[in-house]
Amino acid sequence: MTPSLYLTSVNEFAGKSLAALAIGLQLREQGYSVGYFKPLGTLPHSVRGITTDEDAYFITQRLNPDAPLDCICPVLITPELMMRALSGELGEMADRIRGCYERLAADREVVIIGGVGTLARGSLFGLSAPAVAELLDTKVLALAKYVSPASAEEVLLARRVLGDRFLGAVFNFVGPAEEETLRGDMEHYLERHGIPVMGILPRDELLSAITVRELAEHLPAKVLCCEKALDELVVHFAIGAMGVASAARYFRQLADKAVITGGDRADIQLAALQTPTKAIVLTGNIYPSAPIVRRAQQLGVALLLAPHDTLSTVERVEQVVGRMRVRESAKIDRGKALFEKHVDLNRICRAIGLGVSGGAS
């Protein structure tokens, strides 16, 4: 049977897609034929008349672009599908998942299987993470956002739920202050309780960045100028609600930022344009003055017109920041480098029965 690794998470947006790419790319560099498979998806994406999952397609294009499109994500979770599940009208989704997996894995030396959401997602269809792991006879690596020592409880529960299929955990988004605790008593405690800690990944600003385009789509905001800047990465956010002198000092401390301010605050907008800024979000649906637009065009800074007030706009930004969608080459390269340095690929490969010559120590 083809060695495989199923990636799940104990909390939302813990970095499963990045993990799949990073591990898959490392294995490919070792000379392995790598496949990617996502049993359940939530992001419908049409490619050549076939509807699949957006993340699954993106990762497949980088790991196994010759994979059959109709098999890389056989089940898409939609509101309609959930209603059918409640009324007992579902067909044999498990058979379709297993059939697609076997077809995809047939000519691969190793398969990375991407989970969706957390351990419980898919339970409505009898396809939770433990059920899928059993169906595909695979080992499971759990990713966890490390928030506090209480994060260990979620991993302990995952170990209990997954049983012998659980091979270990990778902690992500670990700050400098938390790393010492995690690498000390916490790691020893987890190892004693049958939870190998396969990696501890530090928090990284670039990986948490979003593009100006993603920001505009999520708010949603109208792009007033500089569409060429939409693919720029925003690392920091600044709220321009203070006096202009204080704002100018604050803005100078932050590069690669988006400034959120009222559309009528020309003084704050000008201060932002005098410092390294990727975009200015104008709240309240108030258009900027002509001089501001001209200056933004000269500098290539996108102006985004948001329909909500500043507080509501900030709340929407907080919802999208931290989801860590991986699309840009810079993010992929950074993520791969972090995994090579901080995740024990050799140990993971041994756990799934795959030999590998490289990997992190």
CATH number at residue 281: 3.40.1390.20
For residues 145 and 61, membership in a common domain is answered with: yes
pLDDT computed for residue 358 by the predictor: 40
* Full residue range of the structural domain in which residue 105 is found: 4-204+325-352
For residues 129 and 249, membership in a common domain is answered with: no
For residues 178 and 227, membership in a common domain is answered with: no
For residues 216 and 195, membership in a common domain is answered with: no
Which residue numbers in the chain have pLDDT < 50?
A: 357-361
Distance (Å, rounded) from C-alpha 7 to C-alpha 91? Answer: 25
Q: pTM above 0.85?
A: no
Does any domain span residue 358?
A: no
Contact 270, 251 (CB under 8 A): no
Does any domain span residue 343?
A: yes
Tell me how far apart the terminal alpha carbons of the chain are, to the nearest angstrom.
Answer: 27
For residues 187 and 84, membership in a common domain is answered with: yes
Does any domain span residue 188?
A: yes
Single-letter code of the amino acid located at 85 = A
pLDDT computed for residue 149 by the predictor: 79
Contact 215, 241 (CB under 8 A): no
For residues 11 and 83, membership in a common domain is answered with: yes
- Summarised one tens digit per residue, pLDDT across range 122-162 is 999 999 999 999 999 999 999 998 878 788 899 999 999 99
Angle of helix 16-29 relative to helix 54-63, nearest 10 degrees, comes to 10
Q: Residue 81: enclosing H or E segment and its boundaries?
A: helix 79-86
pLDDT computed for residue 356 by the predictor: 52
With vertex at residue 285, the alpha carbon angle to CA 279 and CA 286, rounded to the nearest 5 degrees, is 85
Does any domain span residue 180?
A: yes
For residues 70 and 184, membership in a common domain is answered with: yes
CATH number of the domain that 128 lies in? 3.40.50.300
Is the peptide bond prior to 202 cis by the omega test (within 30 degrees of 0)?
Answer: no
For residues 89 and 63, membership in a common domain is answered with: yes
pLDDT computed for residue 290 by the predictor: 96
Does any domain span residue 340?
A: yes
265 HSE (CA, 13 A, CB side) = 24
The domain tally of the chain equals 2
Does any domain span residue 361?
A: no
For residues 29 and 121, membership in a common domain is answered with: yes
Distance (Å, rounded) from C-alpha 5 to C-alpha 141? Answer: 7
Pick from 155, 157, 156: which is nearest to 145 by CA? 155
pLDDT computed for residue 327 by the predictor: 73
